[in-house]
Amino acid sequence: MAGKDGKTSATKGKKKEVKKETGLGLSFKKDENFGEWYSEVVVNGEMIEYYDISGCYILRPWAMSIWEIMETFFDAEIKKMKIKNCYFPLFVSSGVLQKEKDHIEGFAPEVAWVTKSGESELEMPIAIRPTSETVMYPYFSKWIRGHRDLPLRLNQWCNVVRWEFSNPTPFIRSREFLWQEGHTAFATKEEADTEVLEILELYRRIYEEFLAVPVIKGKKSEHEKFAGGLYTTTVEAFVPNTGRGVQGATSHCLGQNFAKMFEINFENEKGEKCMVWQNSWAYTTRTIGVMVMVHGDDKGLVLPPKVASVQVIVIPVPYKDANTQGIFDACAATVKTLNEAGFRAEADYRDNYSPGWKYSHWEMKGVPLRIEIGPKDLANNQVRAVRRDNSAKSDIPMAGLVEGVKETLDNIQQSLFDVAKQKRDACIQVVNTWDEFAEALGQKKMILAPWCDEEEVEKDVKARTKGEMGAAKSLCTPFDQPELPEGTLCFASGKPAKKWTYWGRSY
Amino acid sequence: MAGKDGKTSATKGKKKEVKKETGLGLSFKKDENFGEWYSEVVVNGEMIEYYDISGCYILRPWAMSIWEIMETFFDAEIKKMKIKNCYFPLFVSSGVLQKEKDHIEGFAPEVAWVTKSGESELEMPIAIRPTSETVMYPYFSKWIRGHRDLPLRLNQWCNVVRWEFSNPTPFIRSREFLWQEGHTAFATKEEADTEVLEILELYRRIYEEFLAVPVIKGKKSEHEKFAGGLYTTTVEAFVPNTGRGVQGATSHCLGQNFAKMFEINFENEKGEKCMVWQNSWAYTTRTIGVMVMVHGDDKGLVLPPKVASVQVIVIPVPYKDANTQGIFDACAATVKTLNEAGFRAEADYRDNYSPGWKYSHWEMKGVPLRIEIGPKDLANNQVRAVRRDNSAKSDIPMAGLVEGVKETLDNIQQSLFDVAKQKRDACIQVVNTWDEFAEALGQKKMILAPWCDEEEVEKDVKARTKGEMGAAKSLCTPFDQPELPEGTLCFASGKPAKKWTYWGRSY
C-alpha cells in the first residue's frame, strides 16, 4: 500500500515535519507543560474558543455535542424517576439570596450583581444565580401543603454564574457554566438518602460509562460539603499529570436546614405539621474538561466513542492512476452502511487537503476511529481501520464492516477506561504518617490516609501544605472503605482514626 | 350511569357551585376580562408561578414540557439542515455590544448591566445578552477564512434578558425568556434567502402543526424589521379576544451589514476577498403564551394533543357497592395500553378527591382527552371519553381503545386549528380608506389594507392611532398577496399602493 503509506507518515515517526507542513499539531506536550497543552488542545480540537471576557468561554459544536449526548442520557434517566424539568429565573433578589446564612457565605464573594438597565440604576441590585436553592425554595414553600404534594422533584438545565477570580480554566473553572440542577423535597429522610445515591450512581455512569473516566464515590468532609447542606456525596476524578483531584459531580442531602429557613412544611397523614427533607444535585460542563485532561495526548483530543459526535471518520486515499471515483464511492457506501447501523460516521472528501493532513486534523479532534480507503483496500474489498487511542491498525472486510466497527468502538471505549483506571490507580498511595503524606503529596499522589474526621485537623492540613501548588485538602471519604485496624491513628493529628479518606491537591 | 352522572355535574350546568365547592375554577371570564383571565389561567393551570422580581416568571413543568416537545422537533429539523448547536457566553463587553449602531439603538434601553461581583466594582460594566449577534460575530470573523468554511450554521438554546418596562405578561413579554437563536453565514445572498424561508416554514409548523395556532407568513416593514438587519420575515398570530397581532417568530436576513462591522470576510474560489451574507432567526417561550390565549376557555387551559405532556387522563369513577378494584384495574390497563401505543396517558387514583373535582382539575390543566371508567363502563367493557375542546362524549370499546383514542386526539388537534382559524379569519377585515381602517381598528380587527410602503406613512399611522389601547402598526406584508388592481391607493396616504399589508394593534 505504497500510496497510502507515503501519506500516513504523520503517524510514522516523521511527525514533526509533517505537523509543520500541515500547520496542525500542538506546540506543548502533555507531560512537559500540562497547562499549556490543555489550553491548546481544547482550542485546536475546536471545543473551546477563548472569549474577550476573562473566565468566559465559547462552547463550539464539537464540545456542545458531547454535552448534548450526556444530557440526553441523564434527562431520560431522571424522567424515569418521575423528576420533572422546569425553569426558574436567572435573577434572584438580594433579600432571598441572603436568607440562608451558611449558604450565602459560601457563594457571596462570587455573586455577579445587575445594578443598571439601559441608562437607569435599578432600585435594588439583583443577583445572578450562582445556584438556585434560594431561587426555588420560597416556591417549594408555597406549593407544598400536604403529604400528597410530596415528593416534589424538579430539575432544570441552565447556566449559572460564579464570578471567580482564581485561575479560570476552560470547562474546569469558568465564570459562567452550563449544568443541570436537581432540587427535590421528601416527607422522610430515608427517601432523600435513597435519591442522593441514585443520582450519584447516574453521575458515576456519566463519567465511567460515557466519558471513560474512573471516579471514586464518597462523602465530602464537613469542611468541604455544600454550604448550608447536611452532607455531600461526590464522584471524584483524578488527573495523573497534575496530581490533582477533581470534584466530578455532587449529590447533596440538604437535610431540613433550607426547609427551616424557607418554611417548607407539610401536614402528614396524621395531620401533624412537619418539615420536608431536601436534596440538590448537579453536574456541569466540567465533565468535558476532565475527559480531555484524562484521555488527551500529544496528538490532540481523544474522545470516547459514546460521546463522540463523529465516531468514525472515513478518508479517501486516492493515488494517481488509481480508480479515484471507485474510492470515493466506497467511502460513501461505508458512511451510509455505518450510519444506517446507528454509528455516527462521516467522510472527509475535501480536495484541498492531503490524506496526511486529514489524519492529523481528525486526530487533533479526537475521532475514535479512522477508516482509510485506498486502491488496495478497494481491490481487496476491505477498509483499513486506525484507532485513535492506541494507533492500532487493522483491515476490516467490507462484508463485516458493521460488526468490525462495533467491536472496535466497544473495545476503544473499554480500553480508554481501563488505561485511565490503571494510571489513576498507580497514583493512589496509602499512607499512615505525616511524613509519608508529605512525601506522597510531593509525588502528586492521590493519598488514602486514616483520619480522625475533625474539621480543625483538616484546616491544619491545609495550613501546613500551603504553597505555590496550592494546599492539600480532603477529596472524599470513599464509600468503599478498606479495613481500619483498631488503634490506627490519624495521619495528621495522631488521634484515633475514624475512617480512610482521600487527600490531595485539587482543581 | 347514575353514579357517574351524579359526579359529572361539574360539566352539566351546576358549574358555579361545584367550582366553589372544589376550590377550582377561574374568577374571570375570557370574554369579559381577558387580561385577568390570562393571568389566572396560566397560574391555575400550573404553567406559571409569579416571581418576586417583576417581569420574571417561573416556568413550571406543565409549561416546560411543552417547550421541550417543540425543542425536540425543531432541534431535529435544524440538525437535518446541518445546523450545529453551540453555546456562547451570557455576557458581552460594552465595546462589542455597541459595534453595530442601528442594532444597539434597538436594544440599548433594555440591556441589563452587571457592574459588581461580590463586594467589588467591575472595571467595566458587562452587558447581559439581549440577543447574540454582537456576542458571536467577532468569532465568525475569526473562524471564516475561505469559501470552504462556508456555510457556517450555528444555533443555541439559551436564555436572554431584555429589561423592558412596559406591561410584563407571562410568556408574551418577560424580562428573561428562553429561546433558540440561529446564526448563519453564507457565501451568497441566494443561500441566505433560501434558509430564511426554510426556517420560517419550521416556525409555521410549530404554530400550526404543534400549537394548532394559525399564522400568516410575511415580511416586516422597514420600520418593524430587526435592528441592523436587511429584511425580517415573520409568522404573525392574532388573538381575537384582544384584537392584537402577535409576532410569532422571526427569521431575519441580516444582509452584509454585520459582516461589514465585524469584518466577516472570506476568499472565494477565484481568490477574491468577499463579505458573507448572514441570517439570524429565533422563536421563544412566547409561543406557549399565544397558544394559551388562542385556545384557553373559561374552564382553563386547552392543550393541543401534540404538545400536551398528558394527552389522556384516566379517572376511576367508583360507586358504592360497585367493583372498585375492578375499576382501578381497568384504569391501570387502559393507561398501560395507551402508553405502550405511544400516547402520554396517566391515571388519577387520588382517594381524597371526588371524580368531579378531578374533572375540573384536569380541565383546568387542559388535558385534551379525559377517560372515565365507572361500573357501567366496566360491565360493558368500554370507556367513556370526554373531549376537552368541545366537551363531546363518546364510548370507546376497550377492544378498539388505541384506534379510538388515536382518532379522537387527531380530531382534537385538527379541530383546535380549524376553530382557531375560523375565529381568526372572522377578524380579518379588508379596508381601502382611512375611515374604514379606523372603524375596523375600533372593532379590533386584523386589517388588510393597500399601502404605499413608505416608512413616514407608517409612523404617521402610529401617531394618528395613539391612545389608551396602544397605536396600530403594520403587522406584516403577507407573502400570499391578493390582487392589487392598478390605481389602488394607500389607505393612509392616498398615494399609489404598492402592496397589501396587515395592520393592527399588537403585543
Say what the pLDDT of residue B22 is.
52
Q: E strands of B42-100, at which residues?
A: 48-50, 57-59, 84-85, 91-93
Q: Are A303 and A367 in contact (CB under 8 A)?
A: yes
Q: Which residues of A touch B267 (CB under 8 A)?
A: none
For A426-460, write each residue's pLDDT tens digit: 999 999 999 999 999 999 999 999 999 999 999 99
Say what the pLDDT of residue B13 is.
37
Q: Are B8 and B370 in contact (CB under 8 A)?
A: no
Say what the pLDDT of residue B507 is.
93
pLDDT at A19 over 60: no
CB nearest A111 (choices: B56, B117, B352): B117
pLDDT classification of B156: cutoffs 50, 70, 90: very high
Q: Are A295 and A303 in contact (CB under 8 A)?
A: yes
Consecutive H or E run containing B196: helix B189-205
Say what the pLDDT of residue A319 is.
86
For A407-429, write each residue's pLDDT tens digit: 999 999 999 999 999 999 999 99
Whether residues B86 and A178 touch (CB distance < 8 A) is answered with: no
Q: Are A301 and A47 in contact (CB under 8 A)?
A: yes
pLDDT classification of B23: cutoffs 50, 70, 90: low
d(CA A172, CA A473) in angstroms, rounded, equals: 18
d(CA B13, CA B11) in angstroms, rounded, equals: 6
Alpha-carbon distances, residue B322 vs A110, A120, B330, B332, B376 (angstroms):
63, 68, 13, 17, 9
- Chain B residue nearest residue A50, CA to CA: B139
Give the residue among A97, A90, A113 at the shortest CA–CA distance from B122.
A113
d(CA B313, CA A199) in angstroms, rounded, equals: 29
Q: Are B136 and A59 in contact (CB under 8 A)?
A: no
Give the residue among B204, B207, B199 at the shortest CA–CA distance from B182.
B199
H-only helix segments in B275-430: 286-295, 324-340, 355-364, 375-380, 401-427
A78 to chain B, any CB pair closer than 8 A? The answer is no
Q: Are A154 and A171 in contact (CB under 8 A)?
A: no
Mean pLDDT rounded to a whole number for chain B = 94
Instruction: Kindly state the average pLDDT of the residues A303-320.
Output: 96
In the stretch 139-158 of chain B, residues with CB closer than 8 A to chain A read 139, 142-143, 148, 154, 158
pLDDT at B83 over 50: yes
CB nearest A53 (choices: B59, B89, B175): B89
- Chain A residue nearest residue B136, CA to CA: A58
Q: Write phi, then psi, for A34 (nearest 5 degrees).
A: -60, -45
Q: Sign of the CA dihedral B296, B302, B305, B307?
A: positive
Say what the pLDDT of residue B2 is.
36
Q: Which of B92, B116, B309 to mutate to test the interface with A (most CBs of A within 10 A)?
A: B116
d(CA B350, CA B361) in angstroms, rounded, equals: 12
A43 to chain B, any CB pair closer than 8 A? The answer is no
Q: Which of B67, B81, B114 to mutate to test the interface with A (most CBs of A within 10 A)?
A: B114
Give the residue among A476, A128, A57 at the shortest CA–CA distance from A285.
A57
Burial class (CB in 10 A: 0-12, 13-18, 19+), B121: exposed
Say what the pLDDT of residue A76 is.
98
pLDDT at B426 over 90: yes
CB nearest B90 (choices: A119, A125, A161): A161
In the stretch 226-285 of chain B, residues with CB closer than 8 A to chain A read none
For B178-191, write each residue's pLDDT tens digit: 999 999 999 999 99
Q: Which residues of A touch B161 (CB under 8 A)?
A: 90
Q: Which of B117, B161, B163, B285 to mutate to test the interface with A (most CBs of A within 10 A)?
A: B117
A116 to chain B, any CB pair closer than 8 A? The answer is yes
Q: Sign of the CA dihedral A390, A395, A398, A403?
A: negative
pLDDT at A61 over 60: yes
Minimal C-alpha gap between B64 and chain A (Å): 5
d(CA B396, CA B368) in angstroms, rounded, equals: 16
Q: What angle do CA A111, A454, A449 make, to 5 degrees?
A: 100
pLDDT at A11 over 70: no
Range from A100-104, B84-88, B127-131, B353-357 carrying the lowest mean pLDDT: A100-104
Q: What angle do CA A179, B290, B112 make, to 5 degrees?
A: 50
Task: Please give the single-letter amino acid code of residue B291.
Answer: M
Q: Tell me which DSSP letter residue B108 carries.
A: G
Instruction: Kindly state the average pLDDT of the residues B72-83.
Output: 98
Beta bridge partners of A301: none
**Bond from prior residue into A151 cis (ω within 30 degrees of 0):** yes
pLDDT at B3 over 50: no
Say what the pLDDT of residue A16 is.
42
d(CA A171, CA A63) in angstroms, rounded, equals: 10
Q: Is A478 helix (H, G, I), strand (E, B) or coil?
A: strand
Q: E strands of A256-380, at which residues?
A: 265-267, 273-275, 277-284, 312-316, 345-347, 369-373
pLDDT at B319 over 90: no
- Chain B residue nearest residue A75, CA to CA: B68
For B137-151, write each residue's pLDDT tens digit: 999 999 999 999 999
Q: Which of A90, A152, A177 to mutate to test the interface with B (most CBs of B within 10 A)?
A: A90
B51 to chain A, any CB pair closer than 8 A? The answer is yes
Mean pLDDT rounded to a whole number for chain A = 94
pLDDT classification of B107: cutoffs 50, 70, 90: confident
Q: Sign of the CA dihedral B352, B357, B363, B369?
A: positive
Task: Please give the single-letter amino acid code of residue A64.
Answer: M
DSSP per residue, B394-406: EEEEGGGHHHHHH
Minimal C-alpha gap between A483 and chain B (Å): 45
Give the residue among A24, A128, A467 at the shortest CA–CA distance from B113.
A128
pLDDT classification of A164: cutoffs 50, 70, 90: confident
C-alpha cell at A157: 438545565
CB nearest A86 (choices: B60, B119, B161): B60
In the stretch 341-370 of chain A, residues with CB closer than 8 A to chain B read 350, 352
Q: Is B168 helix (H, G, I), strand (E, B) or coil?
A: coil
pLDDT at A139 over 80: yes
Consecutive H or E run containing B116: strand B112-117
pLDDT at B404 over 80: yes
Instruction: Kindly state the average pLDDT of the residues A314-342.
Output: 94
Minimal C-alpha gap between B490 and chain A (Å): 38
Angle between helix B61-80 and B189-205 (nearest 10): 150
C-alpha cell at A376: 488496495
For A77-93, write each residue's pLDDT tens digit: 999 999 999 999 999 99
Say what the pLDDT of residue A106 is.
83
Say what the pLDDT of residue A4 is.
37
Give the residue among A449, A467, A468 at the shortest CA–CA distance from A457.
A449
Say what the pLDDT of residue B394 is.
97
Instruction: Kindly state the average pLDDT of the residues A471-485.
Output: 97
Q: Is A128 helix (H, G, I), strand (E, B) or coil?
A: strand
Residue B376 CB coordination number (10 Å): 18
Say what the pLDDT of residue A23 is.
59
pLDDT at B18 over 90: no
- Chain B residue nearest residue A108, CA to CA: B118
Say what the pLDDT of residue A5 is.
37
Please report the ipTM that was assigned to this predicted complex.
0.94
Q: Are A280 and A183 in contact (CB under 8 A)?
A: yes
Q: Are A169 and A129 in contact (CB under 8 A)?
A: no
Say what the pLDDT of residue B441 is.
97
Alpha-carbon distances, residue A326 vs A319, A395, B160, B301 (angstroms):
12, 18, 50, 60
